[in-house]
Structure 1
Amino acid sequence: MSFLAKLFGTEKPVIGLLHLRPLPGDPRYYPDGSVSRVCEAAKRDLAALQDGGVDGILVTNEFSLPYERRVSPVTIAAMAHVIGTLQSELSTPWGAEAIYDGDATIELCAAVNAKFSRCLFAGAWVGDLGVIDRDVAATMRLKSALRLDGLRLFHFVTSEGEVYLNDRTTSEITESLMFNCSPDALVVGGSAAGKGPSGLLVDGVRKAACGVPVLCGTGCRESTIAEVFCDFDGAFVGTCLKRDGRFDAPIDPVRVGSFMAAARSARREKMRKN
C-alpha cells in the first residue's frame, strides 16, 4: 500500500483545491476588509468539497494575485486564521500551501498541523513574477527544525507560467530533484490553472521518478479523469469543480459529486484491468 492510500484512503486520490478568497494585504482583498467573509466563503467551499466526496483537500491562497515570491507574514497569519475556523469541520485529509514560497508553506503547515503540502520547493524559474529562486536546502532544514517529520511534500516539477532557468529537460530536472530532495511525490502541471500537461512531458517525469507517485497538478476534468488515472497516481482538482467551471466562482457541490462519481468509476475500471 502506498503512502497515498494510507493518507487518503485510496490509490489515485482526487485532492480538491480550496481556493481562499483574497486575503489582507492582497490587492483584490474585499474593500471593506472583512476576513469573516473569507472564512464564510471557505466554509461553503469546504462543505461542497466534502459533501461531494473528494479524497483530500488542499487549502491555498489562490486569489493572492499577483503571487509573491516571498509570501508576506500577514498572508500566512490570515491563512492560519481561516484554516483555524475550518478545523472543526474538516473531516477529510487536508493540507495547506502558500503559493510559490516553500518556507512560508512549511511554516504555515507547522502552525495549522497540516498533513501534506504541494509547492514549488526547488529550482530557479522566470516568468511574469520575475525570477523565482528557491533555496530547497534551507526549506528542508526548516522542515526538520520544526519537527515536521510526518509532513508529506508534493514537489512541483513544472511551474505554471514560468520556465526553468537552464536548458535541461524536464526528465533531467526530475532526476536531480529525486537525488537532492527525496520528494514524497511529484506534481506535473500545465502552463496555467485549468490547463493540463502534455503526455510526452508526463512520460519523461514518470521514467525519472523511479516509482515515486506522480500527480496531475492542473487541467483535470470529469471528461478526462479516466485518462488522467492511466498516466498519473492521482490529481489535484480545482477550477473544474467550480460553478460553470470558472476560476473565480465558488465550488459547485453538484459538479464535485459528478466528478467524483466519474473518478470512482475510473478507479474501479483501472483495478479491473490490473
Structure 2
Amino acid sequence: MSGAWLGTLRVVYAVNLIATFKTKNPIIGVVHLAPLPTSPRWGGSLKTVIERAEQEATALAAGGVDGLIIENFFDAPFTKQQVDPAVVSAMTLIVDRIKNLVVLPIGLNVLRNDAHSALAIATCVNAQFIRVNVLTGVMATDQGIIEGQAHELLRYRRELGSEVKILADVLVKHARPLGTPNLTTAVQDTIERGLADGVILSGWATGSPPSFEDLELAVAAAKGTPVFIGSGADLDNIGRLLPAADGVIVASSLKRHGKITEPVDPIRVSQFVETARLINDQKAKIDNSLPSLPLST
C-alpha cells in the first residue's frame, strides 16, 4: 500500500466529513440528555427527558451551531461496555424526534464507550456521525480498563452498509493511557490504523480545554483529517484555540451561567457562534493568501 494512496484516502475522509457539516470549520453543540431509563438518577418520565432534549436542540440550532451531538451525559456512573437496551431505545426515539425539529447534521455519543450502539442508532435514524471515546489503544478510566475496538466497529459499519462518520477521541478526557504514548503517534494510529474520519482532542476533564500546542501537534499528525476541540472551549479561550483546529465541540460554556447542570442559554450560543465564525473567517483569509503548494507525486 503506497504512501500516495494513503494520502489520497485521508483527503477523501476529510472532504466527506467537512461536507457533512456544510462548512470547513464546524461548531458542534452538545445536547446532554437527562438521566435515561435504568440509569441511577432516572426520574421515571421519558416525556420529561424528551421535552428537555427538544428544547436544548432547538436553542442550539437557533443560536447557529453547525451540528449537534446527542449524549447520555447524565447517565453516570457509566458502564464501560454495552448500555442497557432501554438506553438504546430511548436514545433512538429522542434522536428521531430531534431530527424532525432541526435541520442540522446530528451525531451520537453513547457513554462511556458503546460505539456499536451509537453506530446502530445513527444508521437506523439516518444520523451523520458518532463520537467514540476510545477507538484505539487502552485507557484507564473511572469505569475500569477500556480497550479500543476499532476492528469490530469498522467491520460492523461495513456490515450495516453505513455511511455514518466516526469522530474519535485521542487520549480521551477522564482517562489515562496505559503506558506513555506520544500524542503524534496516538493521532496517527487513530486515523491510519483505527480509520477514524476525524479526531477529537480534549483536556483532562469535562470543561478543561486542550492546549494550543497539543492542537498544533494533532493537526500536523492528522495530515488533513479534521481535528476538533473536544472540551473546554468558551468565549475567553476560543480565540486562542480555534486557529489551531478544524472545528469545535462545545457544551458546558453554552449553558446558563456556564454550569453543566443548567439548560442551554440561547444568548450564550449566539455569542459563541458569532465569535467562532469571526475567527474562522480570519483564518480562511490567511489560508487563502498563502501560495499553493504543488501536490507530490
Equivalence for 2:46: 35
Alignment correspondent of 1:54: 65
Cα RMSD (Å) of the superposition? 1.5
In structure 2, distance between residues paired with 1:217 and 1:244? 20
Q: CA deviation at 1:262?
A: 0.8
Which secondary structure does the structure 2 equivalent of 1:24 belong to? coil
Alignment pair present for 1:187 and 2:200: yes
Q: Deviations over 1:119-176 (max 9, x none)?
A: 122221112111112221111111111111x211111112111111122212122222
1:140 counterpart residue number = 154
Corresponding residue SS for 1:36: helix
Match of 1:74 in 2: 86
Q: Deviations over 1:206-240 (max 9, x none)?
A: 22212211110001112222222211000000000
Residue 126 (structure 1) aligned to one of 101, 123, 140 = 140
Structure 1 distance, partners of 2:192, 2:283, is 31
Aligned residues: 271
> Aligned match of 2:55 in 37, 44, 47?
44
Aligned partner of residue 2 in structure 1, secondary structure: helix
Distance across 2 between alignment mates of 1:49 and 1:177? 29
Report the Cα distance in structure 2 between the residues aligned to 1:84 and 1:227, rounded to whole angstroms.
36
What is the CA distance between 1:186 and its match in structure 2? 0.7
| Identity across the alignment (%) | 29
- Which residue identity lines up with residue 234 of structure 2 in the other structure? R
AA paired with 2:61? Q
| Residues in 1 aligned to 2:248 and 2:16: alpha-carbon distance in whole angstroms | 15
Q: Contact 2:243–2:280 (CA<8 Å) still a contact in 1?
A: no
The DSSP-based 3-state class of the residue aligned with 1:125 is strand
Instruction: Show the counterpart of 2:267.
Output: 254
Structure label with greater radius of gyration: 2
Q: Which amino acid aligns with 1:124?
A: V
Q: Give the gaps of 5 or more residues in structure 1.
A: none
Equivalences for residues 162-201 of structure 1 within 5 A: 162-201=175-214
Report what 2:231 is aligned to.
218
Measured in 2, the distance between the counterparts of 1:214 and 1:115 equals 17
Q: Deviations over 1:179-212 (max 9, x none)?
A: 2122211100111111101233223322221221
Query: How far apart in 2 are the matches of 1:13 and 1:200?
Result: 21
- Worse overlay, 35-44 or 6-15: 6-15
What corresponds to 2:103 in structure 1?
Answer: 91
With the length of structure 1 as denominator, give the TM-score of the two structures: 0.94
Q: Could you say which residue in structure 1 is the equivalent of 2:164? A: 151
SS in 1 for 2:68: strand
Q: CA distance change for structure 1 residues 268 and 248 in 2, over 3 Å: closer, same or farther? A: same
Q: Is the 8 A contact 1:4 1:13 kept in 2?
A: no
In structure 2, list runs of 5 or more residues that go unmatched. Answer: 1-13, 288-297
- Report the equivalent of 2:255: 242
Question: Match for residue 220 of structure 2?
Answer: 207
2:55 aligned partner, one-letter code:
R
Conserved in 2, the CA contact under 8 Å of 1:23 and 1:38? yes
**In the aligned structure 1, how far is the partner of 2:191 from the partner of 2:285?**
31
